[in-house]
Structure 1
Amino acid sequence: MPAGSSKKRERQYEKIKDSSKARGAGEGRAKEIAARTVNKERARAGEARQASRTSTQDPKSAPQRGGQRSGNRVGPKGPTRDQLYNEARQRNVEGRSHMTKDELAKALGR
């Protein structure tokens, strides 16, 4: 916890850390989750010297959001084209060098 934190924030930190560990996070990861959460709450309450825009302008606090933003990063799903190409090469798929990612996946039966 940062120096000068209130007893309430220290209790909040310990509770979040224990909860994270109970869900299977390692010690280091649990500490990181707890520190980030408490620091964000401190920023929202005006207790921190500096605060990011997302800390202060988020419509909901972390507990209220309930993991709404966790793991929803937009990006490619599944194996890359190179991974599919290597698998196609191992299976001797004809014409694989001219295929797109979707065509390779279809040829491999995915």
Structure 2
Amino acid sequence: MPQTSWSAKRERQYGHIKDSLRKQGKSESTAEEIAARTVNKERAQHGEAEKANPKTLKDTPAPVRGGQRSHQGAQGRTREQLYEDAKRKGIPGRSKMNKAELEKAVGR
């Protein structure tokens, strides 16, 4: 229950996501972080948040995506996610890199 502005529905959603992640073997802190981020993104996409990143508003909601970008399996992270990591790390030439090059540069 990290946020007091969450509705009862969002609290339940947070709890379900966190429990599911714990059952998958994630640590308590990782499960809490992922659950909070997911709930906050859902709130933003449904107009419940005061401020929302434009990328968040344009993104496909998690229930529709169905775990498409769960950072697991052959596909892993999207190029855009890797690019954002590269940007945060200040990796030069990132705009011209493809997904494989970004994965190598970011170290994932």
The answer to whether the superposition gives a TM-score over 0.5 is yes
Partner of 2:8: 7
Question: Within 1, Cα distance between the matches of 2:57 and 2:13?
Answer: 19
**Higher mean Cα deviation, 49-58 or 38-47?**
49-58
Partner of 1:75: 100
Identical pairs, percent: 50
Normalised to the residue count of structure 1, the TM-score between the two structures is 0.62
Deviations 1:36-86 (A, max 9, x none): 10000000111111111122111x211221222332342349x89xxxxxx
Matched, 1:26 2:27: yes
Tell me the amino acid that sits aligned with residue 11 of structure 1: R
TM-superposed deviation, 1:3? 1.8
Deviations 1:11-45 (A, max 9, x none): 00000000011111110110011001000000011
Partner of 1:55: 56
Partner of 1:91: none
Q: How many equivalent pairs are there?
A: 79
Partner of 1:37: 38
**Higher mean Cα deviation, 68-77 or 30-39?**
68-77
Normalised to the residue count of structure 2, the TM-score between the two structures is 0.63
Question: Within 2, Cα distance between the matches of 1:37 and 1:54?
Answer: 14
Partner secondary structure for residue 47 of structure 1: coil
Partner of 1:65: 65
Unpaired segments ≥5 residues, structure 2? 79-98
Tell me the amino acid that sits aligned with residue 67 of structure 2: G
Partner secondary structure for residue 20 of structure 1: helix
